[in-house]
Amino acid sequence: MSDYWIIEKSTDNILTAYFDTPEKEVNTLGEKAVRELDRLIDKIQSDPKIEGVIFTSKKKDFVVGADIDEINKIKTVEQGVEASKALSEIFLRIENLKVPTVAAIHGQALGGGLELALACTWRVASNDKRTAVGLPEIQLGLIPGAGGTQRLPRLIGLEKSLDMILSGRRVSAKSAEKYGVLDALVPQQQLLKQAQILAKKKRPKEWFYTDLKPSNLAKELFTGAKEKNILGRRVVYRTAKKMVDEKTKGHYPASYKALDAVFEGYDLSLVKGLELESQLFGQLVVTRESKSLIHLFHATTSLKKHKYKAAGKEKFGNHKVETIGIIGAGFMGAGIANVSLEKDKVVRLSDPNKESVSRALKQTRDYFKKQVDRRKIKSFELQKRLAHLSPSLTTSGFSKCELVIEAVFEDLKLKQRILADVEKNCHEDYIFATNTSAIPISKIAAHAKNPERVIGLHFFSPVEKMPLLEVVVTDKTADWVTARSVEFGQEIGKQVIVVKDGPGFYTTRALSFYLNEAANLLADGVPIELIDQALTDFGFPVGPITLIDEVGIDVGMHVLTTMQESFPDRIGTPRGLAPIADSGRMGRKNNKGFYTYSNGKKGSPDEAIYEIIGISKKNDAVSEQEIIDRCLLQFVNESVRCLEESVLTNPYDGDVGAVFGLGFPPFWGGPFKYVDLVTARDVVERMNKLVPKLGKRFKPCDTLIKYAEQNKSFYPEEQ
Ligand code: NAI
């Protein structure tokens, strides 16, 4: 009798093992489940009557992977190797069973789930929309550790398996069948029946293209021939390595270990390949990169259970926001419309400027047309989405909108006026959200009739791509308003953090201190390219000066001036930015910024900049570490201050906001995780070192000092 595996034996001696993790929504291959699986195999081996075995699930998914909490507890390379070996050996036992085995997959088969299936003789899946397979370990800084890097390449070839292993993406059942990962797709009702048939069939034990698909025969023969000879494999390796270099910039060791596991393992026996995989897995599981990525996984999971849920449920039950009104059809407004339409919302979009409205319509059409071209959606879905959008020069009909989001120019008076207009003609449960990037929400709500219904929904640009939504609440915002806003954000696929109102909220504030310091470095004569290079070497996707050009020098200047008014002690006049803004340079948008632009393409740094700032001699003697420290520690210190001042309710939000909204390197886990990784003492020492030269803006905040003195960390449970 097992707690995890429910066993049924049919009259024709086929054993079906249903995986059903007790008291959990999903099946994970934790220690106990695996131990019981091992015992189950003992039983199968010792029962000569059994003629075939089916592994399937009682949950809505097959198996979603290993138990991440257990992975997190691994402290040494040896423990990591052992954990991987333990599972690998069990799957090898499954593969070596004398009877045919079948994985019958409905829902997701991820990580260890897919590895279990790969060890089976056959894989059959439901053709349900939700059914998908994948090896997402790379997203946690790991490689598949139970045969994924060995069996998948042997089954479907190097190129296709590398695509899956290096991206970690989920592959739909349909594509997985095309790839050769799955043997058959059937309607869900026929899944077990089909599995029963396969469980009686032996398969010739030969890996790799045993079942070539006639439709792809020529292509597959070519790929097969290439991958079967060593020179061909070298070409595949070089291409993959180049792609990894470009994508990771050397910051993610797991991608390189994945290449090692796949290519070296390919030339070994399966058993030796599995051993190699376990060794590499063990080396990765203790890396900082993996710890940081697992931390982010926990952080984003924790956001889903937000504390406002009950307030929303009490008022609306399960009713979701259906009709959205957007005021301001500029770049942001159109983006917000797109992500809402994507989730079948009805959207009213209003802007008095005809050109804005037609540009927004084009933005929407282009966005969904691209999805049609990429076969993500069908043409009729494009038509349906467009039919859900009602553009207008006025706000007539906005009384039907449960959620109104304004995205007009960044102008307090204008935003207040828009709010007053909405209040005159509104839905009985309306919420007024502003997409301001820096104006305190309480100022916008200062004259509101119902300030409890005013909230900030700070989207990031481009809305369609950026994964973060920062929800900003004032002292007066009602909990049901927050609940509904958070749930809307989650529904449209964003990572949603809730922060307290204040100058720049959390993200704009932390970013301002970071960018301000980059501008200070520039004013000290440090060349543009050195500043950008230092921070991209640290792991930011673009350097801070490039970022200012992208955001707009005028916008940056406007925000920094607002921040300076709020924090005059710590942000002085941005010396490196003000004269540039005054000179009319706006960055990429007017083809005149810190960099040169031609036809929208970024060139080299513009030498004229130094003269405008008044620098006669460049200062390239500043070390890369000092450049990093100056910008990064401003970012980190300000983030911790936001926690100190309760702008952030917990460090998780700060890390998610920085990584998903501001490009903080994921392999550092966010500013709070960064402090834990290098220790608060180290951060304080590095900041104190800069004080004599650069002044009190480098004084560490009280929390950092306390944490350094007491040797504390933000996430003691992750240590
Ligand atoms: P934008 O300049 O592209 O669009 C603003 C739109 O507002 C224009 O189409 C304009 O015609 C319209 N508008 C002006 N007065 C109006 C009125 N009375 N009624 C309706 N529409 C009116 O600006 P963008 O970039 O879309 O920014 C909009 C808001 O989003 C600003 O508050 C900005 O700070 C904020 N934001 C911008 C981000 C960005 O990266 N662009 C990022 C996050 C927030």
pLDDT tens track for 346-364: 999 999 999 999 999 999 9
Mean pLDDT on 19-44: 95
Cβ of 216 closer than 6 Å to ligand 1, yes or no, is no
Note the pLDDT of residue 211.
44
352 lines ligand 1 (CB under 6 A): yes
Q: Residue 255's pLDDT band (boundaries 50, 70, 90)? A: very high
CA of 328 to the centre of ligand 1 (A): 6
408 lines ligand 1 (CB under 6 A): yes
Task: Indicate if ligand 1 lies below 6 Å from the C-beta of 416.
Answer: no
Which percentage of the chain shows pLDDT scores above 70? Answer: 97
pLDDT at 278 > cutoff 60:
yes
Residue pair 45/9 in contact by the 8 Å Cβ criterion: no
**Ligand 1 nearest-atom number relative to CA 418:** 18
Is residue 100 pLDDT above 50, yes or no? yes
- The angle, 0 to 180 degrees and rounded to 10, between the axes of the packed helices 253-266 and 270-285 is 170
Which ligand 1 atom is at minimum distance from the Cα of 329? 9
**Cα 677 to Cα 664: distance, rounded to the nearest angstrom:** 15
Ligand 1 in contact with 462 (CB < 6 A)?
no
The percent of residues in the chain predicted with pLDDT above 90, rounded, is: 89
Least confident of 145-154, 204-213, 325-334: 204-213
Q: Quick one: average pLDDT of 396-414? A: 95
Q: Which of 674, 576, 578 is nearest to 634 (CA)?
A: 674
Rounded to the nearest angstrom, the distance between the alpha carbon of 456 and the centre of ligand 1 is 14
DSSP three-state, residue 456: strand
Q: What is the mean pLDDT of the chain?
A: 94
What is the whole-number distance in angstroms between the Cα of residue 472 and the centre of ligand 1? 18
Q: Please determine, for residue 208, whether its predicted confidence score (pLDDT) is greater than 70.
A: no
Q: From the CA atom positions of the chain, what is the Rg in Å?
A: 28
Residues 6+ apart with CB under 8 A from 103: 54, 55, 56, 62, 109, 116, 117, 120, 122, 123, 124
Which pLDDT value is given to residue 213? 47
Q: CA-CA distance, 629 to 618, in Å (whole number)?
A: 20
Ligand 1: centre distance to CA 435 (Å): 8
3-class DSSP assignment, residue 171: strand
pLDDT band at residue 8 under the 50/70/90 scheme: very high
Tell me the C-alpha distance between 278 and 291, whole Å.
18
Question: Whole-angstrom Cα distance, residue 601 to residue 531?
Answer: 20
Which of 409, 444, 466, 562 gets mutated to test ligand 1 (max ligand atoms within 8 A of its CB)?
A: 409
Average pLDDT of span 291-318: 92
pLDDT band for 576, please (50, 70, 90 cuts).
confident
Give the mean pLDDT of 200-204. 87
Longest dimension (CA), the chain: 90
Who has greater pLDDT, 156 or 208?
A: 156
User: Ligand 1 mean position to 346 CA, how many Å?
Assistant: 21
**Which of the two residues, 561 and 221, has the higher pLDDT score?**
561
pLDDT at 210: 43
pLDDT at position 102 is 98
Q: How confident is the model at residue 599 (pLDDT cuts 50, 70, 90)?
A: confident
pLDDT digits (tens, 9 = 90+) for 529-554: 999 999 999 999 999 999 999 999 99
Q: Count of CB atoms within 10 A of residue 408's CB?
A: 23
Q: Which two tokens stand for residue 211?
A: 């079942």
Q: 710 CB less than 6 Å from ligand 1?
A: no
435 CB near ligand 1 (under 6 Å): yes
CB 485 within 8 A of CB 403: yes
pLDDT for res 216: 55
**pLDDT number for residue 231:** 83
In this structure, what DSSP letter does residue 683 have? H
Ligand 1 centroid–CA 575 distance in Å is 27
pLDDT at 344 over 90: yes
For 410-469, write each residue's pLDDT tens digit: 999 999 999 999 999 999 999 999 999 999 999 999 999 999 999 999 999 999 999 999
Residue whose token pair is 């899946």 = 125
Q: Is the pLDDT of residue 80 over 60?
A: yes
In 3D, which of 661, 390, 388 has the Cα closest to residue 507?
661
Residue 58 has pLDDT above 70, yes or no: yes
pLDDT at 197 over 80: yes
Supply the DSSP symbol for 305.
S
Contacts of 260 (CB under 8 A, 6+ apart): 276, 280
> From the candidates 406, 470, 517, 626, which is the catalytic residue?
470
Q: How far is the CA of 164 from the centre of ligand 1 (A)?
A: 39
Residue 563 confidence (pLDDT): 93
Q: Is the pLDDT of residue 600 over 60?
A: yes
- What CA–CA distance (Å, rounded) separates 544 from 530? 11
DSSP strand pairing (171-172 vs 65-66)? unpaired
Residue 214 pLDDT > 60: no
More confident residue, 419 or 234: 419
Alpha-carbon distance 670 to 367, whole Å? Answer: 31
CA distances in angstroms from 329 to 178, 357, 462, 524, listed in the order given: 42, 6, 14, 40
What is the amino acid identity at position 208?
Answer: F
pLDDT at 399 over 80: yes
Nearest alpha carbon, ligand 1 atom 12: 328
Q: Which residue has the tokens 């006639």?
A: 214
**Residue 205 backbone zone (phi > 0: left; psi -120 to 50: alpha; other: beta):** beta
Average pLDDT over residues 566-591: 91
Entry field: residues in the chain: 719
470 is catalytic: yes
Q: Residue 188 pLDDT > 50, yes or no?
A: yes
Nearest-atom number in ligand 1 for the CA of 408 is: 7
Q: At residue 54, what are phi and psi to the nearest 5 degrees?
A: -120, 130
pLDDT at residue 212, as a whole number: 44
Run of H or E including 609: helix 608-613
Q: Is 662 in the pocket of ligand 1 (CB under 6 A)?
A: no
Q: Is 389 in the pocket of ligand 1 (CB under 6 A)?
A: no
